[in-house]
């Protein structure tokens, strides 16, 4: 008899999952039907978690607004507000540190800069690098490609402000988890297609890549409680304004729909074996390799979606972060 997805989860990760479900209720946060309420609860929990963070010793943190002009974003982006960004700079990093554009998760419909505060601090400190975290607009109020254009505008601002920020514009990377991973992949594609800033590296982590939801894993992960099939279908519907899976989907917002993956920056990509995104990520990695893009890929056994977030003390969560940081250092510090 084939084990259920839950039965395949690493026991230490499973303890973290159960603690999360005890706080959120059955089905996880994505099962809260009202999106406004879902965002409110996530914001409250994020604020509570942030209150336990140690002081940002060794980092200077500042908030900025990245301007949006036709010269700094995609040609069809239209007008929009400046993009909020938060900059994390290691003290003593020197005048030419690597720069990492970080996109938060949340299924394109939730999340914020504050949500990724702990990750941004850790990445900045561990690499070390200047991290620019992006407060992109959310669907359904701002459907695709608003989020992609916001993140690309932030990348253009990072490159243009490199000297002021103490960043080496030749050592830029994009980084994100889940929806943020999908945005990292989309920004890498947009930078290539528009002749934008040259990226040294991309790190889409268990990325949200494909609106079609046709893979085996997209049908398999239905009741784990973290980003199950119903949540993913809902998120793509909201992000693509009801055009999920059809020919009117905004291709720039769906990396898996890109026809050509050649000449993209080297990538590090990972996903768990008990993650809904498992098979679409494997397919994307295979296409990158086939297009000649150097890829380091990790398929983590017994790991569900965002397990390192919900079970941070699990031994495999420590291993996951160690491998990621090693890859970032190898790509950006050598």
Q: What is the CA radius of gyration of the chain?
A: 18
For the chain, the farthest-separated pair of C-alpha atoms sits apart, in whole angstroms, at 60
Question: In this structure, which long-range contacts are made by residues 17-23, counting pairs with CB atoms below 8 Å and at least 24 apart in sequence?
Answer: 17/224, 17/225, 17/226, 17/304, 17/307, 17/310, 17/311, 19/310, 20/225, 20/226, 20/310, 21/225
What's the pLDDT score for residue 80?
78
d(CA 257, CA 212): 10
The ranges of the chain with pLDDT < 50 are: 78
Per-residue pLDDT at 291: 98
- Confidence at residue 72, expressed as pLDDT on a 0 to 100 scale: 54
Please give the Cα distance from 217 to 195 (Å, whole number): 35
Phi-psi region of 110 (alpha: psi -120 to 50; beta: other; left: phi over 0): beta
Q: What is the pLDDT of residues 265-280, one digit of tens each?
A: 999 999 999 999 999 9
pLDDT digits (tens, 9 = 90+) for 117-139: 999 999 999 999 999 999 999 99
The answer, yes or no, to whether the previous bond of 305 is cis (omega within 30 of 0) is no
Share of the chain above pLDDT 70, in %: 93
Give the global pTM: 0.95
What pLDDT, on the 0 to 100 scale, is given for residue 252? Answer: 83
Contact 115, 86 (CB under 8 A): no
Which residues are marked as active site? 178, 275, 305
CB 256 within 8 A of CB 236: no
- Tell me if 89 sits within 8 A of 164, measured CB to CB: no
């Amino acid at each position: 008899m084939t084990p259920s997805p839950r039965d395949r989860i690493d026991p230490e990760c499973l303890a973290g999952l159960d603690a999360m479900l005890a706080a959120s209720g059955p089905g996880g946060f994505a099962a809260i039907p009202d999106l406004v309420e879902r965002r409110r609860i996530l914001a409250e929990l994020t604020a509570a978690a942030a209150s336990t963070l140690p002081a940002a010793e060794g980092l200077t943190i500042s908030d900025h607004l990245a301007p949006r002009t036709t010269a700094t974003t995609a040609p069809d982006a239209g007008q929009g507000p400046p993009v909020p960004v938060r900059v994390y700079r290691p003290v003593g990093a020197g005048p030419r540190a690597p720069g990492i554009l970080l996109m938060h998760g949340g299924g394109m419909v939730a999340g914020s800069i504050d949500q990724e505060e702990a990750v941004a601090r850790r990445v900045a400190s561990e690499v070390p690098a200047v991290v620019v975290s992006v407060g992109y607009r959310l669907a359904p109020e701002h459907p695709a490609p608003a989020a992609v254009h916001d993140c690309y505008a932030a990348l253009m601002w990072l490159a243009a402000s490199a000297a002021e920020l103490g960043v080496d514009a030749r050592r830029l990377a994009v980084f994100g988890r889940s929806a943020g991973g999908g945005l990292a992949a989309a920004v890498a594609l947009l930078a290539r297609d528009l002749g934008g800033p040259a990226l040294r590296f991309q790190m889409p982590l268990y990325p949200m890549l494909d609106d079609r939801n046709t893979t085996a894993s997209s049908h398999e992960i239905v009741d784990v409680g973290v980003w199950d099939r119903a949540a993913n279908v809902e998120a793509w519907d909201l992000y693509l304004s009801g055009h999920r899976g059809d020919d009117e989907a905004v291709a720039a917002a769906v990396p898996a729909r890109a026809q050509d993956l050649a000449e993209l920056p080297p990538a590090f990509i990972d996903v768990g074996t008990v993650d809904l995104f498992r098979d679409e990520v494997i397919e994307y990695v295979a296409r990158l390799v086939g297009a000649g893009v150097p890829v380091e890929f990790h398929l983590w056994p017994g790991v569900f979606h965002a397990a390192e977030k919900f079970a941070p003390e699990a031994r495999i969560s420590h291993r996951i972060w160690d491998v990621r940081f090693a890859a970032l250092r190898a790509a950006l510090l050598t």
